[in-house]
A and B are shown apart, each in its own frame.
Chain A
Amino acid sequence: MKRVYAKEEVCAGCRLCEIWCVVAHSKTKDIIKAFNEEFPRPLPRVQVEEFGSFSFALQCRHCNEPPCIEACMTGAMHREAPDGPVLHDADKCVGCWMCIMVCPYGAIARDETLKKIASKCDLCYGEEEPACVAHCPNEALVFEDRGE
């Protein structure tokens, strides 16, 4: 399946991926409104990891055998197609955070703005290209099928 891959050697650490992820998951999809007016503001589902000059953007790897789906007791964490992205249904989520416990990448975050739920990348489900990839100014994120 198509996944987002990071090229850490050209990641500028600007975090525009995080910002545009927030916009893509906002109600208005307007960057200024999303940040300055909307409540709750969605959490970025991509995180730039930094250590010194080293940085890269990390989001859910959409594992072939996802431990989060295995661990989810309500079925909130699910897949619609065998080769589709791992999705999260906020209505079903009870905020037990088992998914966070089992995720080997630390790619799921706690969203406590309203009711406690998990927050993770959905590859901008339905869009041609995830927002983080489309807006990376240095092409440090690519969306491609590497046959993995």
Chain B
Amino acid sequence: MRFSYLEPEFLVERNLERCIRCQVCVRQCAFEAHRYDAASDVVTVDSSRCVGCLRCVTMCPTDALIVRQNPTTFKENANWTGRVIKNIYKQAETGGVLLTGMGNDRPYPIYWDHMVLNASQVTNPSIDPLREPMELKTYLGRKPERLDVSVKDGKISLNTKLAPQLELRMPVVFSALSYGAISFNASKALASAAYEFGTYYNTGEGGLHRDLYRYGERTIVQCASGRFGVHKDYLQAAAAIEIKIGQGAKPGIGGHLPGEKVSREVSRTRMIPEGSDALSPAPHHDIYSIEDLRQLIYALKEATRYEKPVSVKIAAVHNSAAIASGMVRAGADIIALDGIRGGTGAAPTTIRDNVGIPIELAIASVDQRLREEGIRHQASILAAGGFRSSSDVIKAIALGADAVYIGTSALVAMGCHLCQICYTGKCNWGIATQDPYLEKRLNPEIAKERLMNLLRAWEHEIKEMLGGMGINAIESLRGNRLHLRGVGLTDSELEILGILPAGR
């Protein structure tokens, strides 16, 4: 290989007084940054191989390792930053598209951090969720125009036929993470955690592994442009079906699973040859219009006897509101919106970092548009793209979402350190890999417990915040933007979000 102009991104520092040469770091680094020199009985480091996943630091039994950002800087330049220069070096060396994993890491405004919640004081009582009932149960799916109820001999019966609904213990769902992009153990952890907790997980476009069919009633299966793994049993096993049009991390392009990650099991599940790149087309070639979308929605509904809600997922883009309106009219029961900070296993960096709009603005504009058109009840809004905490979730509900998809938060709960190299298939945490040696590092039992703990923690926090606002059911907060105020936002941002500035 030719000499590279790239400096190491990280420096790995070893405290030799603490190092016991046990070589755990050597064995745990799939990038071979650590090596043991038996002749001198020392462990050496090649910092240029370090990706900053911190596996070695976490596993080192004597805390002998520190990984730091390389402090070396280029000459200060506001336009030609180190990041820009390094990207040019990389491309000059490889001639390729820059790839990355995880969500957008550029400093776009995070509107969640510019919105504050209300709380009851004096004139209305707040509620203590530890002493009084608090309802977080959420139903996703088409709601009826009106309820036709008849009373006979004092018995009330419902005459309206309800559309199929997904019942969530709280408004958080694990978002689409395909088997292939993530390991079987990671998929199993998500599936079993959703199943035990009482929410749902999404297969992404990776198909459904035969060992995961038993979690079917808590599974949302995806039908994406590549149609990988889509067949009769797959559709029938699920609780809901999602047509994936777009993804927040890469609006306008299809998924890409590198051949290195297409193991025998992935190939069986996706129904593609082993080792071949799984390239999803950018569009669905049978969907070039809302009318075409309607055909696929109804084909799927027909195939599953109208027993399952059908979701349509799009990346949040400039005209999401108009598109969402069309999607609802085409028969979508759930509108999934994925914002610019949405994650991925592999995407061109330039697309991830520059295409799409923040999810906060998309939720507000879509909710507003559907309400204005009087069709908001016909579909639930499932928002995705960088939800980091219970407060992000509750703010999204107040803005108008019905529930929230979490992907990155779930991965972090399982151990992800956001080093953004998922596309290499060498995830040292056993999450984004198909390497049998690395995959074992994720114990699905531990991961399941961690996921459930995260959901429980958020559930408690959401109840506390709701109680503080004097609300005892999440339904009463949905789209209730009076409980939000903006801090440090422009007039047009406030107008799009449909909220007042703090102090007013």
User: Do A32 and B440 touch (CB < 8 A)?
Assistant: no
Q: Chain B's nearest CB lies how many Å from the CB of A32? A: 6
With A31-B20, A35-B22 given, is the CB distance from A19 to B436 under 8 Å? no
Q: Chain B's nearest CB lies how many Å from the CB of A45? A: 16
Tell me the complex Cα distance, A11–B430, Å. Answer: 12
**Which residues of B are found within 8 Å of A140, using beta-carbon distances?**
443
With A32-B62, A137-B59, A139-B445 given, is the CB distance from A19 to B440 under 8 Å? no
Question: Does B247 make an interface contact (CB < 8 A)?
Answer: no
Contact residue among A9, A15, A35 (Cβ-Cβ distance under 8 Å from B20): A35
**Which residues of B are found within 8 Å of A9, using beta-carbon distances?**
440
**Which residues of A are found within 8 Å of B442, using beta-carbon distances?**
10
8 Å CB interface, A35-55 against B: 35-36, 52-53, 55
With A31-B62, A137-B59 given, is the CB distance from A53 to B24 under 8 Å? no
User: Do B443 and A139 touch (CB < 8 A)?
Assistant: yes
B 408-423 to A, binary, CB cutoff 8 A, 1 in contact else 0: 0000000000000000
Tell me the complex Cα distance, A10–B430, Å. Answer: 10
B 344-385 to A, binary, CB cutoff 8 A, 1 in contact else 0: 000000000000000000000000000000000000000000
Contact residue among B18, B59, B62, B440 (Cβ-Cβ distance under 8 Å from A10): B440
Sorting the interface of chain A by its residue count into under 10, 10 to 19, 20 to 34 or 35 or more gives 20 to 34
**Which residues of A are found within 8 Å of B17, using beta-carbon distances?**
32, 36
Contact residue among B21, B23, B435, B443 (Cβ-Cβ distance under 8 Å from A53): B435
Tell me the complex Cα distance, A137–B430, Å. Answer: 13
User: Do A16 and B20 touch (CB < 8 A)?
Assistant: no
User: Do A16 and B59 touch (CB < 8 A)?
Assistant: yes
Question: Does B133 make an interface contact (CB < 8 A)?
Answer: no
Tell me the complex Cα distance, A139–B21, Å. Answer: 23
Question: Does A113 make an interface contact (CB < 8 A)?
Answer: no
Q: Chain B's nearest CB lies how many Å from the CB of A55? A: 8
User: Do B24 and A139 touch (CB < 8 A)?
Assistant: no
User: Do A32 and B20 touch (CB < 8 A)?
Assistant: yes
Q: Chain B's nearest CB lies how many Å from the CB of A27? A: 15
Tell me the complex Cα distance, A19–B62, Å. Answer: 11
Question: Does A84 make an interface contact (CB < 8 A)?
Answer: no
**Which residues of A are found within 8 Å of B388, using beta-carbon distances?**
none
User: Do A32 and B18 touch (CB < 8 A)?
Assistant: yes
22 contacts between A and B (CB under 8 A): A10-B442, A12-B430, A13-B437, A14-B24, A14-B27, A14-B28, A15-B27, A19-B24, A31-B20, A31-B62, A32-B17, A34-B20, A35-B20, A35-B21, A52-B436, A52-B437, A53-B437, A135-B61, A137-B59, A138-B443, A139-B443, A139-B446
**B residues at A contact (CB < 8 Å):** 17-18, 20-24, 27-28, 59, 61-62, 185, 430, 435-437, 440-446
